[in-house]
Each structure stands twice: as C-alpha cells, then as structure tokens.
Amino acid sequence: MKKVAHLKDGQILDIMSRLDFFDAFSREELKILVDVHSSLFVYESGEYVINEGGMGKAFFILLSGTVRVAKGDDAVPITRIFPGDFFGEIAFITGSRRITSVIANETVIVMVVDHKLLEKLLPDIREKIKDKIIEKLISRLRKTNEMLVSVVQ
C-alpha cells in the first residue's frame, strides 16, 4: 500500500465523477474530496486491503481496479467488487473485527474513509457519504430477502 502520488487532482476528479457512488456530489464537493490526498491509496495485485479478523476503523471506496472478497485461511473467493462500490463498512460502523479479507486483483486505487476524515468534511458531503452507505446496505438487504424468499418458495 502506498499513497497516490502519480495522479494529478484532475485525473482523480475525472475517475470519481464517473462512479455511481459520487453521482449526488457536485463538482465542488468532489474537489474537496480530491484535496484530501491523505485518504487515497494504491494497492498492487495480490495485496490485502483488509485482513479477515483485523480491527477496522475505516471503510474503502474503490475508485479503480477490482478486488475480491475472500473468507478463511485459504482465502476462498466470495465475490468481486468493482469501481464505485465500497467495502469494510460493517467494521467501520460497528467497530467490530473484519469478517472477510479483501484482496486486490490488480493495481487498485481506494479512498480510505475513517471518522477523522468525516469530521474534516463539510456536513453536506458527510451526509451524502452516509446516504450512499445506507442506500447500498438497503439494496444488499433487499437482495438477501429476495434470495431467502425464493429458497422458501
């Protein structure tokens, strides 16, 4: 893991503006997020972004590349995550241990969001981030409910 240094603000802004996660953000709000370079990191292929069992105080927004979610000592893949999605939110919200590992499939860029970063942001930006988390969690819950209903029927 290393901090993003090779991309200019404009390049990061272009990446973010194409992602669904940031569709409710104004250009000015995106610029504020881009200005927080301390939260942008690069992980190389095979590098663990999250280790199962570790403590988590941040969640991650995937800006580019793909990662896989894996479980157990053998790192059995469960799913893939694509740009614009986020992961690690359960430990971020609850302060609990990480329940899976997340591994870079290729070179990826992530925005690391922790409570310190949120405190630095304007309330409108903070609320939009929270709204996106809630929206995604509801979507995941809906899909789980649909799967359960189809199994019961």
Question: Can you give the residue range of the structural domain that contains 99?
Answer: 2-152
d(CA 29, CA 90): 25
CATH code of the domain containing 58:
2.60.120.10
For 55, phi then psi, to 5°, come to: -85, 145
d(CA 121, CA 105): 30
- Does the predicted TM-score (pTM) go above 0.85? yes
Order of strands across the sheet that contains 108-114: 2-3, 40-43, 108-114, 58-64, 86-87
Backbone CA torsion sign across 138, 143, 146, 152: negative
Q: For every one of its 153 residues, what pLDDT tens digit does the chain have, with 9 covering 90 and above?
A: 777 766 788 888 999 999 999 999 999 999 998 887 678 999 999 999 999 999 989 999 999 999 999 999 888 899 999 999 999 999 999 999 999 999 999 999 999 999 998 998 999 999 999 999 999 999 989 999 999 998 887
Domain count within the chain: 1
